[in-house]
Amino acid sequence: MSVSTIAGPGSSTASFSVRIDQARLGRYTRAAARWTRLLLPRTPRPGLRVFYGHDRVPGPGEAVAGGSAKFQRLAERFPNHPTDFTLLYLGSTWLPRDLRALLLVARRRRVPVVVNQSGVAYPGWAGTSTKAINREFRRTLRAADHIVYQSEFCKRSADEFLGEPSGSWEVLYNAVDVDHFTPAASAPPDGPVLVLGGDQTQAYRFELALRTLAELVRVQPDSRLLVLGRLVSSPEPLIAELGLRGNVELLGRYTQREAPALFRRAHLLLHTKVNDPCPSSVIEAMACGLPVVYPASGGTVELVGGEGGLGVPHPNGWERDEPPSPEALAEAATRVLADLSRFRAAARRRAVERFALPPWLDRHGELFAGLVNR
């Protein structure tokens, strides 16, 4: 597990570039070999064989990001078959580079296409790239025989920006292994400790977390923030400006195996992203007994409900991302911490009852069998 997301003075950017180039070369080599096999004449074999659009799905214990986490879980039950597949399963947050060609192959082979649809691009975060990003999403949805929307919010936003589906669809929330993501025997004795999960790919998310922490430190000087995932800019200037040195711990990227131990170090999850479609980190934290304080928008509202934490109202629209104020988030965190035992139990119960992994996998099995055998 990395202890920092910022390279130190002695780090070698040259060796990092070599590793990136080697990884890219490996991807290209695997893709070329796959397309050679795909274009060869073949006699179809019966049975279910799923392809996730990528030659390699991260294995158990490897670090994942964004939409690849769910495919890591799926591939353990439904292994990845890049060439002789009988079903193509694509994720909107993990689309392959050769998407158009794959969709053409699937159509020619009469292979059913399933799309796991997360969020969409909208001006508030995508700016002038909104139309270009949504063009790929729209192409994928139009090719789908069945669409799995990750939340009701995902369905509504996709309908607005991409159009309503022509095929069948359902809402199926993300899921986690609630036997792996389990609570600590008791809350940490020091703190309070907040954790910021996922990757901080939008600068406002990390900045808002730091400013929320600064509000808490005014009242409780021992308040701390654990920051998970990668950052898009150096955190040091703002940490210094807010006087938070010693109150912030940067833990970097992490694997699913490491995640429960990290969550157990905290009292609650501070989730600062607005309009988040269906964040798995929220479910993982709840399964570990962490209530969630978050902007009351997106699919997060559906995940947390009325008992798994507190949502904070904020101006909500597509043109601008306007999260709650740090003061409002700090106040919500204080309210949760004042009734922590009840919130901890409710968060864990909600995760187990609604977002456990086995029913999610079983539903995929039913869906896959129905499409392949029709």
**Strand, coil or helix: 246:** coil
> In the structure encoding, which two tokens stand for residue 341, read together?
């035992």
Q: What are phi and psi of 255, to 5 degrees?
A: -100, 170
Give me the DSSP letters along 198-237: S-B-SHHHHHHHHHHHHHHHHH-TT-EEEEES-BSS-SHH
- What the block records as the tokens of 350 is 């909600």
Element (H, E) at 241: helix 236-241
Helix (H, G, I), strand (E, B) or coil at 115: strand
pLDDT, the chain, mean:
90
pLDDT at 75 over 90: yes
Is residue 370 helix, strand or coil? helix
Q: Which of 278, 279, 281, 263 is nearest to 344 (CA)?
A: 263
pLDDT band for 38, please (50, 70, 90 cuts). Answer: low
* Partners of 148 in the β-ladder: 116, 170
pLDDT band at 199 (very low <50, low <70, confident <90, very high): confident
Provide the residue type at 332 as one letter.
A
CA separation for the pair 288, 268 (Å, rounded)? 10
What pLDDT is stored for residue 61 in this prediction?
A: 77
Element (H, E) at 126: helix 123-126
- pLDDT exceeds 50 at position 198: yes
132 membership: H or E segment, kind and range:
helix 130-143
Is residue 295 very low, low, confident or very high in pLDDT (cuts 50, 70, 90)? very high
Judged by DSSP in three states, 310 sits in strand
Distances from the Cα of 353 to the Cαs of 175, 346, 356, in angstroms? Answer: 11, 10, 7
Provide the percentage of residues in the chain whose pLDDT is more than 90.
78
| For range 171-177, the mean pLDDT | 97
User: Average pLDDT for residues 355-373, to the nearest whole number?
Assistant: 97
User: Between vectors from CA 347 to CA 345 and to CA 353, what angle results, nearest 5°?
Assistant: 100
pLDDT digit string (tens) for 87-100? Answer: 999 999 999 999 99
Q: Is the pLDDT of residue 130 over 80?
A: yes
Which pLDDT value is given to residue 10?
Answer: 45
CA 82 to chain CA centroid, nearest Å: 24
Does 29 have pLDDT greater than 90? no
Determine the average pLDDT of the residues in 48-56: 96
Query: What six digits make up the tokens of 254?
Result: 């992490």
What's the pTM? 0.88
pLDDT tens digits for 2-16?
Answer: 333 333 444 444 554
Segment 153-171 mean pLDDT: 96
Question: How does DSSP assign 56-78, residue by residue?
Answer: -PPPTTSB--TTHHHHHHHHHHS
